[in-house]
Every structure is written in C-alpha cells, then in structure tokens.
Amino acid sequence: MLRTVCRAGGALLKHSRQTVPALWGTPAQQRWASSLPMNTVVLFVPQQEAWVVERMGRFHRILEPGLNFLIPILDRIRYVQSLKEIVIDVPEQSAVSLDNVTLQIDGVLYLRILDPFKASYGVEDPEYAVTQLAQTTMRSELGKLTLDKVFRERESLNANIVHSINQASDEWGIRCLRYEIKDIHVPPRVKESMQMQVEAERRKRATVLESEGTREAAINVAEGRKQAQILASEGQKAEQINKAAGEANAVLAKAEAKAKAIKLLSEALTAQNGNAAASLSVAEQYVAAFSNLAKESNTVLLPSNTGDITSMVTQAMSIYGSLSKQPVRQVEIEPAESSETVLEEKAPSEAMSAQTTLSS
C-alpha cells in the first residue's frame, strides 16, 4: 500500500514539474514558484524552512521541520519560505544629494523572514518589495545630506535606511537586519574638484604644522636665551658678591696689619733708643723719596737745603716730639672698624708731616 502511494506521489511530482512554467515573472517569482513541492501524503520538511499549506484554497497550517502528513487532493503546499538570512543585491541607482550632486549608489540588503504567514499573504513578492523599498528609502535619505556628509556619515545613513525599511516591512513579516552601501560613484568633474579640495586641505595642514613647528622653535630659542641671561646675571651677581667680600676681607686684613704695625712702632718708639731708630727711619724714607723725584711728574718742588740730611732729620724729629707731647685720645672701636679709624687718625698726621716737609 505504501509503495503504491509513493509511486502515485512520484508521478504527480513529475507531472507538476512539467506543468510549472519555465519563466514566471521576475527571477525572484520564478525561484518562489519552482521550489514548491507536491503533496505526497508523507513529507519531510528541511530545517530552517516553513511550508505554508492551504486546504481547499484556504490557509490551513505551516509545516514544521521534520515528518508531516497531508491529505491528498485537499491539501496543497502553496508557499515555501526560507527562515535563513537572505542577502539581496540592491541594483545601482541614481540619487540627488542636498547640494544637487547626482550620485550612483548600490548596496546590499540583509533580511530575514520572521512570520511566514505574513510573508506569504501580506505581500505578493517579499524580496522585490523590500528591494524597491530600499531603493526609494535610499534616495529619500540621500536627499537630506550633502555630498561631504554622505561620505562621512555612511553608518548613520545605513541605520536610517534600515529603520525606514523595518517600519514598512513589519506588516510583511520581514525584518531588515543590515544595509550596507557598496559603492558611491560621483561625476568626473565633481571627483576632480573633490581631489583638488583634498589636496588643498592637506597643503593647509602642512602649512599649519610647519608654522606651529616654527613657533615652537622660536619659543624654545627665546626660552633658552632667557634662561641663559638669567644664569649669566646670577653668575655676575655671585661674582660681584664674592669680589666685594674678598675686597672687604682684604681691606680688613690690611687695616688689621697696619694697626698691628703702628702698635709695634709705638712700642718701639717708647723703648730705649727709640728716637735714634725713628731718626734712622726718617732718613731712609727721605732718601727713598728723594730718589723717586721727577719719575712720576715733571713738576718738582725741592727745599733749599736738599743735601742737608741732618737738618731734615732734626726737623722731622722736632715734629714728632711736638706731636708726642699732645695728649692721646683713647677711642674704643669695634674690630671691624679699627682699621678705618686708624687710617682716619693717621691721615691727618701724614698730611701734616707732608705739609711741613713741603713748606721747609
């Protein structure tokens, strides 16, 4: 019995394949029509496919993958829907952007059938309908953007097209997953102007980068000169401070040495035979001074008795005796100012002695 039924089903299947037209409308319609199997009572539905069955011309049920049984003559498989993700190539079309530039754009559409009933009875040809909807939506979306934004915002453009398609395809039981723009062709003149714009932009960037480099170099040079001047001034300041400190120490050391010398000289004069030693010292200084005459200037003042050394020594000793008879004022000074006080006190005595010498 089962063998007879299978033979009858095979004969009916061959008859149906012979009766199906070779060409039925569009290629998509031909694919949908040529894949319809015949009712052989026992049917095996492949995975990821949905077979829509009509009973006496009215929707009956959708066969699930696996083993299914149908009633001959009464039941008929009307549609076979694939539940896999379908890839549709959207043909190239022309569109006008917001700035009146004509573009040639094609794309790829990815969709999936979620409801086989709506896909079968909601629209005559789902693939053709979605393709036309994608093309019209693409043209409308491109009309909202300028040429520059079309290249920069391709992702947002694809998302807007997918959203518009899904709003219209919900009644068809189809879900658009992705839409990708494949190629964008612009007119040759527009392409040349875009190339010139890109070159100008790159030259602008190069000029800006070069100017920024020059500015940074000038700033670095100025900072280096500033730091060099600061360091040089600090070095000069330190040098002057050290030099002043050295000169102060030298003056202090000289003053202290001279004070000690004067102290020793005063002690020596108060000792025995101090007058004789003072006379010898004055005579030596007179001879040394007389030997240096006319070496530093052309003007020479000489006393009348230049060769009488005894009178000069006697006169110097008389001046010394008169100064020694005057009372000595004791002044208490600090160590740092002792040298200057001694110099101030000595200067009048030297000036007086020099004036006495010149007058004589």
DSSP of 103-158: EEEEEEEEEEES-HHHHHHS-S-HHHHHHHHHHHHHHHHHTTS-HHHHHH-HHHHH
- Give, in degrees to the nearest 5, the angle at Cα 186 between 181 and 187: 160
Segment 267-294 mean pLDDT: 69
Residues 6+ apart with CB under 8 A from 155: none
Contact between residue 79 and residue 51 where contact means Cβ atoms under 8 Å apart: yes
Check residue 187 and report its DSSP letter: -
Residues 25-69 pLDDT 10s: 344 444 444 468 888 888 898 988 889 999 888 888 888 888 888
Residues 162-199 pLDDT 10s: 988 888 888 888 888 888 888 888 888 887 887 888 88
Contact between residue 166 and residue 176 where contact means Cβ atoms under 8 Å apart: yes
Q: What does the pLDDT read at residue 214? A: 92
Long-range contacts of 241-249 (CB under 8 A, 24+ apart): none
Q: What does the pLDDT read at residue 352? A: 44
Length of the chain: 360
| 223 confidence band (pLDDT: 50, 70, 90) | very high
Closest to 290 measured CA to CA, from 280, 278, 300, 275:
300
| 320 confidence band (pLDDT: 50, 70, 90) | low
Segment 221-249 mean pLDDT: 91
Residues 67-98 pLDDT 10s: 888 888 888 988 888 888 888 888 888 888 88
Q: Measured between alpha carbons, how far is 105 from 144 in angstroms, rounded to an integer?
A: 15
Check residue 37 and report its DSSP letter: P
Q: At what angle do helices 126-142 and 154-169 cross, to 10 degrees?
A: 140
Q: Measured between alpha carbons, how far is 238 from 227 in angstroms, rounded to an integer?
A: 16
Model-wide pTM > 0.95: no
Which range is least confidently modeled, 67-81, 89-103, 143-157, 320-334? 320-334
